[in-house]
Structure 1
Amino acid sequence: MSDTNGSAGGGRSGGAARCIALVGPYLSGKTTLLESILARTGAITRQGKVGDGNTVGDASPEARAHGMSVEVNVATTEFMGDSYTFVDCPGSIEFLHEARNVIPAVDMAVVVAELDEKKAPALQLILKELEDAGIPRLIFLNKVDRAEGNPRDALEWLQPASTRPLVMRQLPLWENDIVTGFIDLALERAFVYREHAESKVVEMSDDARAEEVDARFSMLEKLADYDDDLMEQLLSDVEPPRDRVFDDLTSELRQGLIVPVLMGSAERANGILRLMKALRHEAPSVVETAERLGLAAGSGAVAQILKTFHTTHGGKLSVARLLRGALADGDTVFGARGGEERIGGVFTLKGQDTTKAARAVAGDTVGLGRLEGIATGETVSTDKGVEQLVAVEPPQPVLGKAVEAKERKDEVKLTSAIHKIIDEDPSLSLRHNQDAGEMVLLGQGEMHLRVALERLTGKFAIDVQTHEPRIGYKETIRKPATQRGRHKKQSGGHGQFGDVVLEIRPLPRGAGFEFTDTITGGVVPKQYIPSVESGVRDYLGSGPLGFPVVDVAVNLSDGSYHTVDSSDMAFRTAGRIGMNEGMPQCSPVLLEPIMHVEVMVPSEATAKVNTIVSQRRGQILGFDARPGWPGWDVVQAQMPEAEMRDLIVELRSATAGVGSYVCRFDHLAELTGKLADQVIESHRQEAA
């Protein structure tokens, strides 16, 4: 008997198509696992390699250029008469939001991991996402053929990454310090791997049998924590029926009570059919997934949009998991945000290849064509008034680049293209900085932004140039001054005349701008006073140091006018002249924005992060354990915005790629001395 025959008992939950997410840390082998599954189930004739650039997944130019997943890849296959769609999710924290939109609507997740303790924090990130979403999951320990340690011993460092008990389902068989097969603890049989072929049943040695008995009892003990009858059998030394063991494994996995652990080698296709057999018997059905999402019974079709692609020739394609009912080409669907669209084609997916289908039914994961007004993550239905099943908020960006088209003719095209890549990936965002007159593309890290910019050039054929976003420096004053502003011009006919006296004084930090008047005797007619204020405001856009002015009060105390030559424009100009001549006397000072920062890192990296923050002129406010995250801390600090430009790069370097932060503007603080001089000089050179 080979590992194709798999488990007994724990019967399948219906024949509807399944949707399985492949998740795990960066470089753990998820794309290779997808390729191996497709080859072993006959969906492709030959298993490709990521390094050769010939896999079904990671087929985009950006993924191939960088040798990593940069977006979800979807492929459907069949196994033993059932349909399975696998969604391969990127492992880098910079692309984690791709998985967040997928996870809620899948039936189960396979967490691909390596025997590398340094990746435990990254594994914890993935498992926490699944736990929070209530997704049943198992771990597939990949690359065991190259493992230096014992997979069973790995549970000691793997377990802290999961709040649910890890249950080892298999034991490795060894030959010359190499894993050559496994013992299935539920079946109580030993198998030897055969490369790209079915595993072969072999007899267990006496030593292997003794280890199997011990490991199986440990597995049963964990199952018995949620089954009183099984616990009683174990205490009475009664061997539980095999079917009962499989039933418990299935039930407890679906409830998220345990996390089974299997092993294999995706590259050699070892353990793949054993994994598929586990999914066939133990993955929940779409009915259970719909119940988990709170989808009530009804007649209309309901689907969740997992991902959006803007294809070069076929237009917009929305990857959808159908949770109820059926959809066909031409059906009208309504979005939870109020949109109404007609489906322009139903497609099965295998990487970047699409095949037209007649219809999709509950359980299917398909591409829906031309849903222009429907966003990634949105719930759609053939019934009006559909409610959003799950709300996934994009993470706060941590890095930005100011972007502009190299050619003026591409400016409108650039804005449209950026909105399309944000539609594909909502963890990107666009900010228009009015003060600096620039457009800033924001994302989750250096590689995230690099890939987005490559798509603008490659997919949308727009040459762009980038620079660091300008910091929101301001300026204010330290002392008051009184200044007359006089504008007089005679050039034939009516002239221009405006005369004002302005009292300028500083306001407390954060007070903004205040304009008053104490005019008496009509020396400045009332109808011209708003024009004086407009002139003052005109000046505030750029003060003596060249930056927007804040926290200043101006009082119009005196002036004069001419019955013929005075006008709104003349008094507006006089107000601006008064500010221009008076502000340099008020001891102007530069202000820099200070951000409140919360840095989330594994506890062993907290000391490093404190040093990084301090070296960037940051002030540590304190740190504490991160709620709900064993082994993690949250560092609270205040830091100048200017010091945060590449903070995420250094932070990720110090935390094996898992550290992150959120921030918000806190206050403006005076910046003096050499740093202020450098900022002012740099600004003047840019303006020249």
Structure 2
Amino acid sequence: MARTFAVLGASNTGKSTLVDRMCALEGQPQPAAQPGELRVAGFTHLGDDWQAIDCPGSIELLHVSADALLAADIAVICVGPDPAAAILASPYLHLVEAAGTPAILFVNRIDEAQGRVRDIVAALQDYARHPIILRQIPIVEDGQVTGSVDLVSERAWHYREGEPSQLIEIPAAVSAREHEARGELLEHLSEFDDWLLEELIEDRVPPNDAVFALCARALGENRMLPALIGSAGHGNGIVRMMKALRHETPAPETLRTRLAEQTTTDEPLLAAVFASANRKHLGKTLLLRALAPLAAGQPLGGRAAGQLTPADPRDSRHLDTVPEGTIVTAVKSDHLAAGKIATATALVDAPAWHAPHPPMLQRLLLATNDRDTVKLSGALATVAEGDGGLNVTQDPETGNALAGLQGPLHMRLLRQRLKDVFSIDVEEQPTAAAYRETISKPQETAYRHKKQTGGAGQFADVKLTVAPAERGAGFVFAEVVKGGSVPKNYIPAVEQGARDALDTGPLGFPVVDVAVTLSDGMAHAVDSSEMAFRIAGRQGVREALKAAAPVLLQPVFRVAIHAPAAFTGSLGPLVSSHSGQVLGFDSDPDAKGWEIFQALVPGAALPPLANDIRAATQGVGWYDAAFDHYEELHGKAADRVVQERTREPA
């Protein structure tokens, strides 16, 4: 039965190197990952079958790490050897805690550490609700890390480049620190076990086997985060990591139980569909992990599963059976979708923790070749099926495809996939803020539409009052016609004409918050028609809008900025620099060490604000925004917006 671990963490923490080193322990090299995608590396170690899911590191691809946790028994979070790097690790700590996935921290590149490991752990603890328990300490000689001491077995190892580490006696210089660190380890573990607590109170030394078993139980119950050290680039600490995984990774049925508790179905869960990709000449491929034994052609998600092949792209065998816990590739299974849990009869939505952050980058996408315009829409829909961080809609003003993405890297990956898989080159354009206009004073107007071209003509006469309405009212129409001067069957046409006039106002933007009242008019027995009154209503309102002191309205959004508490102080000036209004901040209930900063921000400031938040928070901060209201914009700022609008091509 294959067990699975996901390797995640920030960029440049050595995740892929760690996976490669694990696979190389018994000489099983694996192909490299595709940019921005998961890599499944299958290998054996000491007779056990393993599957490592190697995740991309950019914070813009955090949703891909969430995909991996749908299929992982345990997570390995790679972190850098600097306490300051804890901030970069915090999104991954929050993700595994939200998912309920047991996790091990691997402090990589320990040979580059300039400070103490305990300081690294303390910095990480600021962002983790689970206690982080250090399981190893480094051996430092002449300022260089030359080995490590295991705090459970109390055995020391000397690192050797390109060779297995050598067992040595614990150096005298490290003995005192080892004794102190082991005491802290046992003290933490005693919080999970009364027997160990009694042993410590009675000043008895617990046997190592019992301590190892307690470590495995506490990790399996997801009550702590053990921390190991090493250097994947030099092959140091790899065997120790594999030993921890071998003895402490929960069995696959634990994942099935966890997902069953987090979803809303009573049916047995058969598979977690955790990734999807489109390959040229092959079509849609899916990665799924069997949560129960599967057979080719059995019902999965309401229909028979298509072909099942090994997850290794180098192996194209068709599988008749799939053991529980095994990851496979499914083709010709278009009814399945990534981010779903499959039962025999249905596809169940992934748990709430799997949902990605809202997109922070909005871009209009246009096919470079006009012949690909229709093809682009289908291609984007197909890519979005397997990319949870991508949101594709249609821009209401231009009709072009509107893509919501996690950032510039995500945008580059999308463009490359469209080119490589669908042979579509696209160009991107920024979106414009949804400005509106209204009027600031009432205006009465009379308009007569009269046209004679031979035969029946067109005639309609209306008297209208156009006035400001309450903010947020939209469009209000009323009629106070007396004596039937405007026949009732023509009044709806006047209303429709008034609506037509609001599509584009004198400043060039849609008009909102206007009340139009029809008070009088005149009709002709022969020449009047609905069309004539619609034209009269439209033209009359247009003339009134020009004379009613039009003003520009800018959209204002309520923005919740999620960021580490260390950066909260810099967010106030940042929001103010974008003409925003600070509302306050509170602790983030879902992310230890983070806060939610609330503000009101003009819509035009959102794109640059996203970049500035990333820059001010070492790349990890993000926001979600919801439209709140429109407010008037005056002066040079309004003039500039109107001028830019008039320069736009018709």
Question: Please, which of 347, 358, 362 is the counterpart of residue 396 of structure 1?
Answer: 358
Deviation at 1:517, TM superposition (A): 1.5
Q: Partner of 2:277: helix, strand, or coil? A: strand
Instruction: Confirm whether residue 151 of structure 1 aligns to residue 117 of structure 2.
Output: yes
Among the aligned pairs, what percent are the same residue?
Answer: 39
Q: Distance in 1 between matches of 2:167 and 2:497?
A: 89
Q: TM-score, normalised by structure 1?
A: 0.90
Q: 1:127 to 1:438 in 2, by over 3 A?
A: same
The 8 Å contact of residues 133 and 185 in structure 2, kept in 1 or not, is answered as yes
Match of 1:255 among 221, 232, 239: 221
Measured after TM superposition, the shift of residue 199 of structure 1 is 1.8
Q: Is the 8 A contact 1:476 1:549 kept in 2?
A: yes
The one-letter amino acid paired with 1:304 is A
Shift of 1:545: 0.8
Letter in 2 for 1:657: G
Match of 1:174 in 2: 140
Deviates more, 1:443-452 or 1:303-312: 443-452
CA shift, 1:327, in A, is 3.2
Q: Secondary structure at the match of 1:230?
A: helix
Is the partner of 2:27 in helix, strand or coil?
Answer: coil
* Partners of 1:41 and 1:151 in 2: CA distance: 30
Write the letter of the residue equivalent to 1:497. F
Q: Using the alignment, how far apart are the partners of 2:315 and 2:436 within structure 1?
A: 52
User: Quick check: 2:148–2:156 contact (8 Å CA) kept in 1?
Assistant: yes
* Structure 1 equivalent of residue 238 of structure 2: 272
Q: Which amino acid aligns with 2:69?
A: I
Hey, what's the Cα distance between the residues in 1 that align with 2:20 and 2:447? 76
Q: Which whole-Å CA distance do the structure 1 matches of 2:471 and 2:110 have between them?
A: 61
Note the alpha carbon deviations across 1:60-112, whole angstroms, 9 max, x for none.
2xx3xxxxxx2322221111222111111223221111112321431101111
Which residue, out of 175, 182, 187, partners 1:216? 182
In 1: Cα distance, 2:560 partner to 2:570 partner: 15
User: Contact between 2:280 and 2:420, CA under 8 Å: does it hold in 1?
Assistant: no
Alignment map for 1:370-381 (pairs within 5 Å): 370-381=332-343
CA distance in 2: counterparts of 1:343 and 1:179, whole angstroms = 52
Aligned mates of 1:370, 1:197 — CA distance in 2: 45
Does the CA contact (< 8 Å) of 2:377 and 2:401 recur in 1? no
* One-letter identity of the residue aligned with 1:331: Q
Q: Tell me the residue number matched to 2:277.
A: 309
2:412 matched to 1:450?
Answer: yes
Amino acid of the residue matched to residue 39 of structure 1?
Answer: A
Deviations for 1:189-244, whole angstroms, at most 9, x for unmatched residues? 22222333322212333333343333222211211121111122122222212210
Question: What's 2:101 paired with?
Answer: 135
Distance verdict in 2 for CA 1:300–1:598, change over 3 Å: closer
- Alignment partner for residue 408 of structure 1, among 359, 370, 374? 370
Structure-2 residue corresponding to 1:236:
202
Query: Is the CA contact 1:76–1:348 (under 8 Å) kept in the aligned structure 2?
Result: no
Counterpart position of 1:325: 293
Contact conserved, 1:601 with 1:632, CA < 8 A, in 2? Answer: yes
Distance 1:586 1:276, change over 3 A: same
1:101 to 64, 67, 91: 67
Q: What's 1:56 paired with?
A: 31
**Secondary structure, in 3 states, of the residue corresponding to 1:675?**
helix
- 1:368 Cα deviation (Å)? 1.4
User: Is structure 2 residue 394 aligned with structure 1 residue 432?
Assistant: yes
1:506 corresponds to which of 458, 468, 479: 468
Secondary structure at the counterpart of residue 294 of structure 1:
helix
Matched, 1:384 2:315: no
Amino acid of the residue matched to residue 191 of structure 1? W
Amino acid paired to 1:393: A
Gaps of 5+ in 2: none
Structure 2 distance, partners of 1:501, 1:386, is 59
Alignment of 1:77-92 (within 5 A): 77-92=43-58
Q: Work out whether residues 14 and 232 of structure 2, in 8 Å CA contact, stay in contact via their aligned partners in 1.
A: yes
Question: Residue 396 of structure 1: SS of its match in structure 2?
Answer: coil
Q: Aligned partner of 1:227: which letter?
A: D
Residue 646 of structure 1 pairs with residue 608 of structure 2 = yes
User: Which amino acid in the other structure matches residue 416 of structure 2?
Assistant: E
Residues paired across the two proteins, number = 647
- Distance across 1 between alignment mates of 2:178 and 2:570: 43
How far apart in 2 are the matches of 1:137 and 1:162? 11
Secondary structure at the aligned position of 1:357 is classed as coil
**Equivalent position of 1:29 in the other structure:** 14
Quickly say closer, same or farther: Cα 1:684–1:550, change in 2 above 3 A. same
Instruction: After superposition, give the CA deviation of every residue in 1:500-525 in whole Å (9 maximum; x if it has no partner).
Output: 11111110100111112222222222
Pair 1:389–1:325, CA change in 2 (3 A): farther
State the AA in 2 paired with 1:303. Answer: A
Q: CA deviation at 1:300?
A: 6.3
CA distance in 2, matches of 1:194, 1:353: 35
CA distance in 1, matches of 2:511, 2:12: 50
How far apart, CA to CA, are the structure 1 residues paired with 2:270 and 2:485? Answer: 72
Contact 2:303 2:345 (8 Å CA) reproduced: no
Q: How many angstroms does 1:42 deviate by? A: 2.3
Structure 1 Cα separation of the partners of residues 7 and 605 of structure 2: 37
* 1:632 to partner: Cα distance: 2.5
Gaps of 5+ in 1: 1-15, 45-54, 64-69, 335-339
Greater Cα offset, 28-37 or 294-303? 294-303
1:153–1:301 Cα change, 3 Å: closer
The alpha carbon displacement at 1:307 in A equals 0.8
**Contact 2:336–2:347 (8 Å) recurs in 1:** no
Contact 2:309 2:315 in 1 (8 A): no
What is the root-mean-square deviation of aligned Cα atoms in Å?
2.1
Please tell me whether the aligned partners of residues 598 and 637 of structure 1 are also in contact (alpha carbons under 8 angstroms). yes
Q: Deviations over 1:574-624 (max 9, x none)?
A: 111111212111111110100011112222212211111001000111222
Which residue does 1:114 correspond to in 2? 80
Q: SS of the residue aligned with 1:471? A: coil
Distance, in Å, in 1 between the alignment partners of 2:482 and 2:315 is 79
Counterpart residue type for residue 646 of structure 2: R
Q: Quick check: 2:415–2:425 contact (8 Å CA) kept in 1?
A: no
Return 146-155 or 617-626, whichever deviates more.
146-155
Query: What letter matches 1:534 in structure 2?
Result: Q
Matched position secondary structure for 1:545: coil
Residue pair 2:467, 2:516 contacting (<8 A) in 1 also: yes
Contact 1:480 1:505 in 2 (8 A): yes
Report Cα offsets for 1:607-649 as digits up to 9, x if no partner.
Answer: 2111110010001112223235443222111110001112111
In structure 1, distance between residues paired with 2:492 and 2:314: 62
1:345-384 deviations in Å (ceiling 9; x for gaps): 2122247876543421211111111221222111112x22
